[in-house]
Chain A
Amino acid sequence: MNWITNFVRPRIKSMLGVKETTPDNLWTKCPSCGEMLFQRDLEAAQYVCSHCDFHMKANARQRFQWLFDDAQFEELPFIPVAADPLKFRDEKRYPDRIKEARTKTGQQDAVIAAKGTIAGVPAMVVAQNFAFMGGSLGMAAGEAFIAGAERAVNDHVPLVLVVASGGARMQEGILSLMQMPRATVAVQMLRDARLPYVVVLTDPTTGGVVASYAMLGDIQIAEPGAVIGFSGRRVIENTIREKLPDSFQKAEYLLEHGMVDMVVHRHKLKETIARLISMLMKTPVSAAIAKAVAEPEGGALVPDGVEADAVPPPPESEPQAAQ
């Protein structure tokens, strides 16, 4: 096992965010079931475990590759913000933490916005990467989200948010909290322009992020098993002095409590999003949409019984829609 932890893991980590050709001999261990997975298969399966269906974390550029047609997209430029507005010091200097996160992820900050087409429908995707300081929401992330929304309005295209975040960037203090109203204003710009805003909640999405723009989607989607909630599990357990079940704050729990529209397997995300935004944008069904719906990417890998959003067959007596 030693060579796995000492050699393979760091290599895999260093690859995240930087597209490299994968050597043939790399394996990774599923954090959920412990199964050893062949790295190339795992990438082809969009980081979903082929044994237990666990959805692993993904970075922003992987999200773009999986959602945009032919993995083609245009990234919006990074918008520089005040580097350390509070001169924040805890055990490390904030700028040092940022530098580390940049090296680790190959991203300038937690959020990147990109433009492309999803099954032929032009769209913006904003992706928030948990690997960058826990996907925390600071000024740079706020600017990236706002820029994504402004570009969507400008180009008259829908915006899809794929989010993973532990919440606020504490090192930016109140300026981090202010990203909640700022991002909310960006959502309002989309709404004013009557553009669809689709949110995909992935593991984990918590704190201030889920209490603002990540909960304001026209459609709320969650990936299976994703932890989604406002307060941390331990904080709640301390408050109520009770142990919470494993299912607490999971995507399926939110579905049951009416907080999301659907739980969608990662292999069906593109198809689902394409279907939704093409209808909301009143885009005629194109060959690309038809193809995406007929052949969902990686669809063959979906084990039986995991489609959480199976559509019931129409009742026999239901009259067909007029026109």
Chain B
Amino acid sequence: MSTYLEFEKPIAELETKVSELRKLAEATPGMNVADEAARLEARAAQLLKDTYTKLTPWQKTLVARHPGRPHFYDYVRGLIEDFTPLAGDRGFGDDNAVVGGLGRFRGRPVVLIGHEKGNDTKSRLKHNFGMATPEGYRKAIRIMDLAERFGLPVIALPDTPGAYPGLVSEERGVAEAIARSTDRSLSLTVPMVCVITGEGMSGGAIAIACGNSVMMLEHSVYAVISPEGCASILWRSADKAADAATAMKITAQDLLALKVIDRCIPEPTGGAHRDPLAMVAAVGDAIASELDVLGTKDGETLKRERREKFLRMGRSLAA
């Protein structure tokens, strides 16, 4: 039922044994395996906890891409009332990798934008695995314009392997679309809160990740290029992705230390996919507390502070 990652194999074996024991006990009245099952279960839980407290950057990349991880629509379902999706860039078409709309978040009207990757073959194809064409970013700009005009906060959930590297993207100016979306984010006079929920890769992510507050889930990753891409360029071999993941410093913990992000949201033990509902609720709490603070500031202050935050970035690292 659940999808185990390669490095979770020992956990998978223990958990499989537990469920087999339980089934056996059900089928065989009078057979007492409760103690044994409980012992194994405790061992599995401990192993899970140990594994997840010391995930390597590459393991985190795999967790960030876990198919069972909550995606944009899971957060919308769990956190947003009256969600009203908005479509189209008004120039060419509608992109399904960047989605968004209006909704109520804990009482307050907001606009939402994010990447949706899909969760089965059909929806993954529909959402192009979260890889947006220019129309996705132009739709995001349009939705941010709407937020600006009506004074609504923007909640953005970047989660993408990168913009779609296809002919259509180049033909219709994906670079320009990303640049304009970044530009629009940085000029907003309404609060913008971003949560990198899975993988935030390259320009495709930054286009909707320039918020007053940028948060990452504990096991999400955020990078200038995918570890595979970096490895194939600098190591000339995609097999060195794990090395590239380590070298690039892509984890929430590293990025918090570099002051590139503002906050790290803890995940349930064993990752967001183990308890999506708890994850969604925790993200909701984090967004609410950020919006509470930002809501007290006037528009010019929000814009100025957002810009100054990015201008400051990296300067304190100089010796």
Contact = CB atoms under 8 A, between A and B. Distances in A.
B167 A236 contact: yes
Contacts of A272: none
Nearest to A142: B314
A231 B225 CA distance: 11
Contact of A259 (B176, B244, B260, B314): B176
B281 interface: no
Contact of A181 (B175, B233, B244, B310): B310
B248 A182 contact: no
A188 B183 contact: yes
Contacts of B119: none
B249 A257 contact: no
Contact of A174 (B166, B170, B222): B222
Given A82-B317, A139-B314, A170-B233, A239 B183 contact: no
A146 interface: yes
B270 to A, nearest CB: 26
B295 interface: no
Contacts of A88: 247-248
A73 interface: no
A212 interface: yes
Interface residues of B, number: 52
A211 B248 CA distance: 20
B1 interface: no
Interface stretch (B44-52, B67-75, B107-115, B202-210): B202-210
A213 B179 contact: yes
Contacts of A86: 247-249
Given A81-B318, A173-B224, A178-B260, A236 B165 contact: yes
A88 B254 CA distance: 13
A230 B235 contact: no
Interface in B274-319: 307, 310-311, 313-315, 317-319
Interface in B119-167: 163-167
A176 B173 contact: no
A96 to B, nearest CB: 13
A211 B175 contact: yes
A146 B210 CA distance: 17
Contacts of B235: 90-91
Contacts of A249: 170
Contact of B167 (A171, A180, A240): A240
Contact of A211 (B166, B203, B255): B203
A177 B174 CA distance: 17
B183 A216 contact: yes
B206 A177 contact: yes
A236 B86 CA distance: 29
Interface string A223-255: 000000111100110011010100011000000
B210 A181 contact: yes
A28 interface: no
Contact of B163 (A178, A182, A185, A230): A230
Contacts of B170: 229-231, 236, 248-249
A82 B224 contact: no
Contacts of A212: 178-179, 182, 203
A81 B314 CA distance: 8
A177 B178 CA distance: 13
A268 B82 CA distance: 57
B289 to A, nearest CB: 24
A34 interface: no
Interface string A187-224: 11000000000000000000110111111100000000
A174 B203 contact: no
Interface in A82-132: 82-83, 85-86, 88-91
A309 B233 CA distance: 37
A77 interface: no
A168 interface: yes
Given A90-B234, A240-B167, A174 B307 contact: no
B187 interface: yes
Given A82-B319, A173-B224, A239-B166, A185 B307 contact: yes
A235 B165 contact: yes
B37 interface: no
Nearest to B312: A182
Contact of A184 (B165, B182, B202): B182
A213 B180 CA distance: 9
B171 interface: yes
A197 to B, nearest CB: 12
A150 B38 CA distance: 65
B175 A188 contact: no
A77 to B, nearest CB: 14
B179 A177 contact: no
Given A139-B314, A231-B163, A231-B169, 17 more contacts: A81-B314, A81-B318, A90-B243, A170-B233, A175-B313, A175-B317, A177-B223, A181-B206, A181-B310, A184-B186, A211-B179, A213-B179, A215-B173, A215-B175, A215-B176, A231-B170, A236-B167
11 contacts: A81-B315, A82-B317, A168-B225, A173-B250, A208-B203, A208-B224, A210-B175, A229-B170, A231-B163, A239-B164, A258-B173
Which 4 residue pairs across A and B have the least CB separation, nearest first? A231-B165, A82-B317, A177-B224, A90-B234
